[in-house]
Structure 1
Amino acid sequence: MHLIDWFEKGISADEYISRMEQNKENVQAIREGFTIGKEEDSFLSQLQEKQLNVIVLTEDWCGDAMLNVPILLEIARYANMEVRFLYRDQNLELMDQYLTNGTSRAIPIFIFINEEGEEKAVWGPRAPYLQELVNSKRSGLPPRDHEEFEEKQRTVYKELQEAYLTDKELWGEVYRSIKTTLTERLF
């Protein structure tokens, strides 16, 4: 299938959010709390001129998607981009074309396409600063076969989720990372 076909197969943001079984309130809270400043008007106007749409590969249980999707939706609102969502696990044929480090089905992945369905930029699954944060937190975990690994991992995930929900600096890092990728690929 071509990217335009994948885009057409996807569901709208409203439908995706209404179907969410996990993280729905968190996505809505970040979406309501995140704003893009006036100083970004020039970038957003230039982006709007590109007439892009976005395919999002995701799952609603994903903590990174919980943070990144609302930021993307705000960018899309300002730049007049239509966003369509595909569930990773139901669309592995597409997902496997966008593996992180060539091996991992990490999500979310944002595929920016033009009106003809040509890929113009890809972003995801995390902003570099957030990847460093996650790596730092994970470095303190015991080995996977250690009896306390699962408990400690759950604690790390809770700490990250709390930071994702409350630390607006992290929201800004996601925005800047998406902007950097788009700027490098489009302008």
Structure 2
Amino acid sequence: MELHEWYEKGLTPDQYIEKMTDHKENLLHVLKTFHLSGEEVSLVNKLREANWRVMVITEDWCSDAMMNVPLLLTLAKAADMDVRLLHRDDNLELMDQYLTNGTSRAIPIFIFMNEEGEEQAVWGPRAPAVQEMVTNYRSSLPPRDHADFDEKSREMITRLTETYRTDETLWQEVYRSLKTTIAERLY
């Protein structure tokens, strides 16, 4: 299936948010709180001129998506860029074309395409600064076969989710990473 066909299968942002069962309030909080600075006019104008669309591979249980998707939606709205969201677990054939490190079905993945449906840029699943933070969090976990691993892992995910929801400096790191990926193809 071509990217354009996948895109057409996707949900609009409103449809996706309406159907969310996990992290909906957190996603809406980030969406309401995150704003582009006035310095983004050039990027927004370039995106508008390029007439790109973006397809997102995601799941609403994913805390990375909970933070990253609203940042993309804010940029997309400013640039009049259409967005469609696809659930990873229902679209593994597409997901497997965008594996992280060639092996991981990590999400979200943002696939930017032109009017002809040709891929222009891909971003995800995490900004480098976020990946470093997650790696540090994980390094404090006991080994997988340890009796406390599951409990400590759940505690880590809870801490991470709260950080993603509230740490606006982290949002800026994600946005900077996303902007760099887009700008490399636009300018």
TM-score range, shorter chain: over 0.9
Letter in 1 for 2:28: Q
1:118 counterpart residue number: 118
Letter in 2 for 1:43: L
2:18 counterpart residue number: 18
Could you tell me how far apart the structure 1 residues matched to 2:97 and 2:14 are?
A: 26
Q: SS in structure 2 opposite 1:112?
A: strand
Work out whether 1:45 is the aligned partner of 2:45.
yes
Q: SS in structure 1 opposite 2:22?
A: coil
Could you tell me how far apart the structure 2 residues matched to 1:48 and 1:132 are?
A: 32
Could you tell me how far apart the structure 1 residues matched to 2:105 and 2:181 are?
A: 20
Deviations 1:138-160 (A, max 9, x none): 00111000000011111111111
Work out whether 1:70 is the aligned partner of 2:70.
yes
Give identity over the alignment, percent: 59
Could you tell me how far apart the structure 1 residues matched to 2:186 and 2:119 are?
A: 11
Q: SS in structure 1 opposite 2:97?
A: coil
Could you tell me how far apart the structure 1 residues matched to 2:161 and 2:44 are?
A: 28
1:186 shift after superposition: 2.4
1:185 shift after superposition: 2.2
Unmatched tracts of structure 1, length 5 or more? none
Whether the 8 Å CA contact 2:46–2:186 is kept in 1: the answer is no
Count of residue correspondences: 187
Could you tell me how far apart the structure 2 residues matched to 1:162 and 1:88 are?
A: 23
1:84 counterpart residue number: 84
2:135 counterpart residue number: 135
Could you tell me how far apart the structure 2 residues matched to 1:36 and 1:186 are?
A: 18
Structure 1 vs Structure 2 CA RMSD: 0.6
1:47 shift after superposition: 1.5
Unmatched tracts of structure 2, length 5 or more? none
TM-score scaled to structure 2, two decimals?
0.99
Could you tell me how far apart the structure 2 residues matched to 1:79 and 1:166 are?
A: 25
Could you tell me how far apart the structure 2 residues matched to 1:101 and 1:146 are?
A: 27
Could you tell me how far apart the structure 2 residues matched to 1:48 and 1:160 are?
A: 34
